Amino acid sequence: MLNLQKLSPRSFDWPLFTAVFLLILMGMAAIYSVDLSRGVNLFYFKKQLLALSIGLVILFVAGMSQHTLWRYLAKWWYLFSLLLMVSVLIFGQTVRGTRGWFSFGGFSFQPVEMAKIGLILMIAYIISRFGRRFDRPLFFFGTAIVAFLLLILTMLQPDLGSAILLGIIWFGMVWSVGARRLYVILLVTGVALLAVTSWFFFLKDYQKDRLANFVNPGRDPLGSGYNVTQSIIAVGAGKLFGRGLGFGSQSQLRFLPEAQTDFIFSVIGEELGLAGVSAILVLFGIIFWRLILIIKKSDDDFVAATATGILILFFAQLFTNAGANLGLLPVTGVTLPFVSYGGSSLVINLLLVGILESMMVKRY
């Protein structure tokens, strides 16, 4: 099924690739800066560089594949994701309170990253096969079941941030093709019940603290509210052009925990200032612009729906991560795509870009 097509310079979406690559470079610079303060022989930087090398190869291979390959793989990718999500609950490694990682020879992989692609492709496949009768109950609740299976397995880890992203992907994709208000009301009611149930049965104490700190950041400024407090200080200290890479006191003196992952946005805000943060937002804006063009110009429901799902995922991650770093949203562990440290996340995000490139080739 891997029928390769010619990926010529004319058909390649250079604005999309350039924006992604510049984001990665900014992230690598920030990770390098964090590594300098840790004295771990550039541990994070070297691993991220290896993930980047693997991810770029995957991007170009995916970009050369026929876009029909992803339609064919949709069901199998989804089922494989379900298998991985079940397996990680049994055989996975616990990291920061979440049993959601496989470890192989010093490298870690998070199956929920595969699940995000599986959900996007599966819902896009259903959309393409439904004859545009998206107002039917079977479409709304059928896709809800597809999403719920992955969501509940994610909550069992528990990984609140990824579960929220999966829910947003599903809702955004079905809403974009048309959904009846009655079903939305039923959904909101169901989410409210799920939230109450999760509070008592699924959420860990540290996750409850994160939500409580969002409502009242000052309730425990030296304890569970410490991260957000330090993050806000870091962003404010950067001013217009920042203190310079390697000279941010909050990140370099380790006042900012998880600086290379959850709070990479704050590191850039402190060391590169408003200029650096603005550059990130502009680059993401270019990515969103290119995705919208794919959606508008495509005459294939599967291609348009897949691009919509990827757009929703990237936007939700940006909004959630930046909002948490600025104290506007609760911290849920969602990282900044292409920028935060995380090998499996970077590889999967580059695969998503490759999928988009394969669909762009179809347009020419």
Q: Domain coordinates of the chain in residue numbers?
A: 14-363
Distance CA 296, CA 261 (A): 33
On the 0-12 / 13-18 / 19+ scale of CB atoms within 10 A, 194 is middle
Average pLDDT of the segment spanning 160-168: 92
The full 3-state SS of 80-128, as one line of letters, equals HHHHHHHHHHHHCEEECCEEEEEEECCEEECHHHHHHHHHHHHHHHHHH
> Smallest Cα–Cα separation from 158: which of 204, 122, 196?
204
pLDDT in tens, 110-144: 999 999 999 999 999 999 988 777 778 888 889 99
Give the whole-number percent of the chain exceeding pLDDT 90: 50
What would the 3-class secondary structure string for 310-342 be? HHHHHHHHHHHHHHHHCCCCCCCCCCCCCCCCC
Which pLDDT value is given to residue 95? 78
Q: What is the pLDDT of residue 92?
A: 87
Quote the tokens at residue 141.
């609740």
Count helices and strands in the chain by DSSP H and E runs: 13, 3
Sorting pLDDT into bands at 50, 70 and 90, what band is 81? very high
Q: What is the predicted pLDDT for the residue at 173?
A: 93
Least confident stretch, 60-64, 92-96, 224-228, 297-301 = 224-228
Higher pLDDT, 328 or 166: 166
More confident residue, 21 or 250: 21
Tell me what pLDDT residue 5 has. Answer: 57
What local confidence, expressed as pLDDT, does residue 364 receive? 42
The 8 Å CB, 24+ separation contacts for 293-302 are 294/356, 294/359, 294/360, 294/363, 297/363, 298/359, 298/362, 298/363, 300/67, 300/128, 300/362, 301/124, 301/127, 301/128, 301/132, 302/67, 302/70, 302/71, 302/124, 302/125, 302/127, 302/128
pLDDT > 50? residue 55: yes
Query: Is 361's pLDDT higher than 70?
Result: no
pTM: 0.90
Per-residue pLDDT band at 194 (split at 50, 70, 90): confident
